Structure 1
Amino acid sequence: MKKNGGIRFLRWLILFAKRFLKDDMPASSAQLTYYLTLALFPFLVFLINLLSYTKLSTWSLTEDLLTVLPAGTMQIITSVIRETIEAKSTTLLSFSALFALFSTSRAMNALNRALNKAYRVQGTRPIWKNAMLSFLFTMGLIVLIVATLSLMVFGQLIGEHLFTLLGASVYFLHIWNLMRYFLPVAIMVLIFSLFYRFMPNTEVRFSNVWRGAVFSTIGWIVASLLFSYYVNRFGSYTRVYGSLGGIIVFLVWLYLSSFILLVGGEINAVLLYGDSKIK
């Protein structure tokens, strides 16, 4: 049985590799990276500008999230945060929001085309429907980021408030402290599942997409941590590229993220159709 299972898995890997290369997913990952790059910094400017009008500490909200990123990437983003705080402006807030929404919508369109290619379907949806889906998934990404920030930064305070409100036992706080790191992961799985469920122009059930969503979530977390460790310990981007080293690191990390997201979609397509749509 184990031998047969190993042979089936090997055949599946070969089929997956054929489809992945035929669909030219590395090129699609590069396209998705381009639009995400255009979207990320306007969105970051918008978020920091918005927070600057509150009593919340901008640095406290971002420092925990930045720890998963490579050092060069952290330097770029912290530089953007610093300049945004100094240039607090309602005009900047409005323009950054509009540009971030437009660029993220383009990224969602690129993801839609890549997943359609994986499922061997044509993009025949009306323009208005594509625009609506892009907008909804853009909002989903914003919810993911905000929820992650909130749980990582305010998780302890939220847990203590619930502890007092519910009159729970002291074990509640211990469980909550574990849950506040698990919940962002669960939200990521949910958002990725929604991507894979509704983005392709074909009928797909949630039961057909959860494995790709779990792979993408775990893959992104592990790849980000390993890449960050490599760059911080062994990387020589600064010596090779000079002042551009941080930008190169950021683009490589974003490409890895896009790559993993598309691999998850291809996994779902192969598991659903097998070799029936290899051509």
Structure 2
Amino acid sequence: MRNPITSIRRNATLRRWFRPFAAAIRGHVAGTSDMLAASLAFFTVLSIAPLLVLAIAVVGTVFGSDATRLRLFADLSTAIGPQAAGAIDQIVQHAVQDEDRWWRVAFGVIVTVWGSTRIFARVQDALNAVWGVRPTKEGGWRIWLRRLLRKRALSFLLVMAVGALLFASMVAESVISVVLAAAQNLPHGAWSSRVVRVSASILAITLMLLPVYRVLPDVELRFRDVWRGALLAAVITTIGAWAMGSYFSSAAAASPGGAAGGVLVLLLWINLVSHVMLFGARFTREWVRAQQGEITPEPDAELVQPLAAAA
């Protein structure tokens, strides 16, 4: 016999998740998500080479640059198909050419750091648009310079976090591979392997999105406010990666697009991921509004419009 108290609690939990979820869907469809996602996709394509070069350089100090690059693009090929992964590989290889001249190396380091942080600056602008906040225009050039340096510093720390996450994922993948190889002989070993890999993917994406949702918006937030949106976005991204990876892997042999086709696939994938990330942020905003009743901007930020009118 069912426990009525347990059923009531379960229904209350579902309602707490469903209402922000439904509000996030309405806001995502009615708002400017298409424009924001397209803008993020554009800047991501421009910044993806320096971002990956820097991440590979950080992790490559331990595993070696070649091994890190091969592992990264093997994972990308599984997630988004060989065409898009090949396009990224060509972009990164072109970015690391001519490393024998010191002045090119120095210039390349500057461009890499600037370009890799630029994407996170654009992500911050998009998240501020979702939350309905913006930096205040008061304070003069000193305040403006402080905000700019703070934004770039936060972006650089997130770039380092990407490298650390890549490092952790490679270590975890090595451990998981050993464990799963031993588990193949156990009952339901293949099914258990898939569950472990999917769970690891969701965990990795959640850990990457947590600081993005917590740090980048100019809103007073806590990690307990943002983990649900990060988890939701991670689950949707993992499902989308499986669906798109399966489709593009099977369609790669029949597609004659070559490098151009790979770039188009890459743009499509980044656009979809941008939509998911923005949806997770919008869900987080609706959750905070439902639990706290108001959004509190940071001291040097302000609300753009009343919450009732925010889409």
SS in 1 for 2:134: coil
Letter in 2 for 1:73: A
- Say whether 1:226 aligns with 2:238: no
Identity %: 18
1:93 to 91, 94, 105: 105
2:44 to 9, 15, 36: 36
Give the 3 Å change call, closer, same or farther, for CA 8–210 of structure 1 in structure 2. closer
What is the match of residue 211 of structure 1? 228
Q: After alignment, is 258-267 or 78-87 more displaced? A: 78-87
What is the match of residue 165 of structure 1? none
What is the match of residue 5 of structure 2? none
Give the 3 Å change call, closer, same or farther, for CA 194–45 of structure 1 in structure 2. closer
**Count, aligned residues:** 262
Asked whether the equivalents of residues 210 and 226 of structure 2 are also in contact (C-alpha less than 8 Å), the reply is yes
Using the size of structure 1 for normalisation, the TM-score is 0.74
Asked whether the equivalents of residues 59 and 163 of structure 2 are also in contact (C-alpha less than 8 Å), the reply is no
Give the 3 Å change call, closer, same or farther, for CA 7–206 of structure 1 in structure 2. closer
Separation (CA, whole Å) in 2 of partners of 1:50 and 1:11: 42
1:62 to 65, 69, 77: 69
Separation (CA, whole Å) in 2 of partners of 1:144 and 1:185: 15
What is the match of residue 133 of structure 1? 151
Offset from partner CA, 1:187-217 (integer Å, 9 cap, x none): 5433422222222222122221110111223
TM alignment of 1:124-203, pairs within 5 A: 124=136, 126-127=143-144, 128-149=146-167, 151-152=169-170, 156=174, 186=203, 188-203=205-220
Q: After alignment, is 20-29 or 146-155 more displaced? A: 146-155
2:27 to 6, 19, 24: 19
Letter in 1 for 2:84: T
Q: After alignment, is 93-102 or 79-88 more displaced? A: 79-88
2:82 to 47, 67, 71: 71
Asked whether the equivalents of residues 205 and 234 of structure 2 are also in contact (C-alpha less than 8 Å), the reply is yes
Offset from partner CA, 1:28-72 (integer Å, 9 cap, x none): 1111122221111123345567888x6954332122222332211
Give the 3 Å change call, closer, same or farther, for CA 217–150 of structure 1 in structure 2. same
Q: After alignment, is 72-81 or 194-203 more displaced? A: 72-81
What is the match of residue 185 of structure 2? none
SS in 1 for 2:166: helix
Separation (CA, whole Å) in 2 of partners of 1:84 and 1:120: 36
Separation (CA, whole Å) in 1 of partners of 2:236 and 2:63: 32
SS in 2 for 1:203: coil
Q: Cα RMSD between the aligned structures?
A: 4.0
Letter in 1 for 2:73: L
Shift of 1:108: 2.2
Asked whether the equivalents of residues 144 and 184 of structure 1 are also in contact (C-alpha less than 8 Å), the reply is no
Shift of 1:260: 1.5
Q: Larger RCO: Structure 1 or Structure 2 (Cα < 8 Å, ≥ 6 residues apart)?
A: 2
TM alignment of 1:241-256, pairs within 5 A: 241=257, 243-256=259-272
